Amino acid sequence: MADDEAAEGASSGGSKLLIIILAIVLVLLIGGGAAVYFVVLPKIQQTEGKTIETAEKEKAAPAVSLGSTIELQPFIVNLSGGGGRYLKTTMVLQLSTPDVAKEITNRAPQIKDAVITILSSKTADEIMSVQGKYDLKTEIMRRVNTFLSTGVVRELFFVEFVVQ
């Protein structure tokens, strides 16, 4: 009988400890939930609000397209001036009309020859500066436009430009 009372006292002590632990966990969960609700969620809603406003502005602004473009195959040429330096470049041409793309494809050998001739005539010093790149763009566009009859190249973009 004394053993039963001791077991009962131990189990009631264990029950009290379990209840205290559960109460502490419950208080921590409620406190954490309240912190998330009052601190974190308003910040997320502000961020989402800004994102929604930005998305609405983007929808309102008309999308500006480059129009018709064509990417030329990469060019790898030895540069003038000795020293064993070479240039690897890839270009995208912005066209006045979509029909020009077909004409560029048909005249690809002439255009490639002209571009290779222009690129290989340059030294590394001439094309390394920003102004040198602009001058190179202008020269290539003028030369390519001499081959075209259905439209013109409006702009040339270097999408790869490596000198070694």
Residues 45 and 85 in one domain: no
Q: How confident is the model at residue 32 (pLDDT cuts 50, 70, 90)?
A: confident
What confidence category does residue 76 fall into, taking pLDDT thresholds of 50, 70 and 90? very high
Q: Are 22 and 40 found together in one domain?
A: yes
Q: Which of 15-19, 72-76, 84-88, 127-131 has the weakest average pLDDT?
A: 15-19
User: Mean of the pLDDT values across residues 119-140?
Assistant: 95
Clarify whether residues 89 and 107 are in a common domain.
Answer: yes
CA separation for the pair 147, 127 (Å, rounded) = 24
Q: What is the rounded distance in angstroms from the CA atom of residue 63 to the CA atom of residue 87? A: 34
Residue 22, pLDDT > 80, answer yes
Asked whether the predicted pLDDT for residue 106 surpasses 90, the reply is yes
Whether the per-residue pLDDT at 50 is higher than 70: the answer is no
User: What is the predicted pLDDT for the residue at 63?
Assistant: 59
Same domain, 112 and 55: no
- Supply the pLDDT for residue 39: 76
What are the backbone dihedrals phi and psi of residue 77, each rounded to the nearest 5 degrees, phi first?
-135, 150
Q: 27 or 38, which is more confident? A: 27
| pLDDT band at residue 91 under the 50/70/90 scheme | very high
Same domain, yes or no, for 83 and 112? yes
119/154 same-domain check: yes
Q: Is the pLDDT of residue 1 over 60?
A: no
Are residues 101 and 120 in contact, defined by beta-carbon separation less than 8 angstroms? no
Q: Which amino acid is at 36?
A: V
Return the SS3 of 150: coil
Give the pLDDT of residue 156.
Answer: 96
Same domain as 85, residue 46: no
Pair (77, 153) in one structural domain: yes
